[in-house]
Amino acid sequence: MNSLTFSIIQTNLFWEDKAKNLEMLEQKIASIKSKTEIVVLPEMFSTGFSMQPEKYAENMDGICVNWMKTIATKYKIILTGSLMIKEKETFYNRLVWMLPNGKYGFYNKRHCFAYAKENEHYTPGNNRFIASVNGWKINLQICYDLRFPVWARQASNQLTPEYDILLYVANWPQRRSHAWKTLLTARAIENQCYVIGVNRIGTDGNDIYHSGDSMVINALGEVLYQKADEEDVFTITLQKNDLEEIRTKFPFLADADDFNLLQVPN
């Protein structure tokens, strides 16, 4: 299909309160009146960026994953966002990609944010996850991953680009918002893809303020959407023809340096 429609939910989050967050987020999803295919929630949408997975993490049959399954089925959408997941005695910051039929894929955050001691509580993932939707390919990543361009880089040894959209869900603080906006733009330009960055707003339980600055950027680095300091539910339709026109007119990926990104099983 030539087009793909996303709804971005930029919102404040109730600190470590799953019930309130799930109730609030369903209200926002229900408020989307135009047709949409994919709804994107921020990083750790059920708790905020908490370092207490021992207390709040759940398994893949837990309340939040089942909530995602119910919402995706009820509203006939793909629903995605990250949350704390426990497998045996290991914790992950995991992005879940929930389909309307209840099936799902997932991506474990590769780069744990040592500055906030995320690396002391969560285990990094080892594999990228590129989802397929109606002929589109979407590379799914989380927050701090944005600072590491090799992890997002289009493969240089393929005839066609690996993906069309690079999507980040985040809890990115306002005091580093310049880096957020700059790196999102850079990832779009260097990978000749759309980039979608969905961030929270508000002050979290550690008294850290988030300005949101959720963005949609095209392959030329042009900003199609940006919102700061306000809650917003925004729906946008991306066009494949526009992306292919840019790639054809400016075939820069053909000149990219060769490299191999090694991935190992978890």
Q: What domains sit in the chain, N to C, each tagged with a CATH number?
A: 3-255 (3.60.110.10)
User: How would you classify the pairing of strands 194-199 and 136-142?
Assistant: unpaired
CB contact set of 33 (below 8 Å; sequence gap of 6+)? none
Over the stretch 143-153, which tens digit does the pLDDT of each residue have? 999 999 999 99
Over the stretch 3-48, which tens digit does the pLDDT of each residue have? 999 999 999 999 999 999 999 999 999 999 999 999 999 999 999 9
pLDDT band at residue 264, thresholds of 50, 70 and 90?
Answer: low
Spatial separation of the C-alpha atoms in residues 193 and 113, rounded to whole Å: 25
One-letter amino acid of 230: E
CB contact set of 114 (below 8 Å; sequence gap of 6+)? none
pTM here is 0.96
User: How would you classify the pairing of strands 38-40 and 78-87?
Assistant: parallel
Q: Which H/E stretch holds residue 23?
A: helix 18-30
**Owner of token pair 């894929």:** 105
Active site residues per annotation: 43, 109, 143
Spatial separation of the C-alpha atoms in residues 13 and 205, rounded to whole Å: 10
Spatial separation of the C-alpha atoms in residues 95 and 168, rounded to whole Å: 10
> Token pair of 194, please?
């759309």
